[in-house]
Amino acid sequence: MDGTFTAGVPIYEQIARKLEDAILKGLLEAGQQAPSTNELARVYQINPATAAKGLNRLVEEGILYKRRGLGMFVAEGAQEMLRSARRANFYDDYVVGLVREAKRLEISPEELIEMIRTAGRTGPKEKE
């Protein structure tokens, strides 16, 4: 998990997102212990209460669960829950804006689909 934060987004939300990303990538698997509040605070040089808030958000969502005296662990099915939630948001977060901008640029639906296919085959272009 990288140690950079984005301005304008609460740090606890970014901590939760970094843990979600680690679960989606398979770096944290079901049943595996999540980093502790103190570990996160030390690594990211943040207040332990902020780290705890990020972890607790994931507990509330059922992504992590607490084992008294042992810490927090990745719940069974967490990866699938996260993937499902992110897929549900994908349309609103990415597709709508993409189509809106394509219309502004007078890119036809067919051209847009071909651009997506090309990007899928070649991967993203590096910006210079």
Tens-digit pLDDT profile for residues 1-44: 666 788 999 999 999 999 999 999 999 999 999 999 999 999 99
8 A C-beta contact, residue 53 and residue 11? no
Looking at residue 117, its pLDDT comes to 93
Burial of 1 (0-12, 13-18, 19+ CB in 10 A): middle
Domain ranges of the chain: 11-76, 79-122
Question: Has residue 128 got a pLDDT over 90?
Answer: no
d(C-alpha 102, C-alpha 112), whole Å: 7
CA dist 37 and 47 (Å) reads 9
Q: What pLDDT is stored for residue 4 in this prediction?
A: 79
Cα-Cα-Cα-Cα dihedral sign, residues 66, 70, 71, 75: negative
pLDDT, one tens digit per residue, over 69-86 is 999 999 999 999 999 999
Fold of the 11-76 domain: Arc Repressor Mutant, subunit A (1.10.10)
pTM of the shown model: 0.77
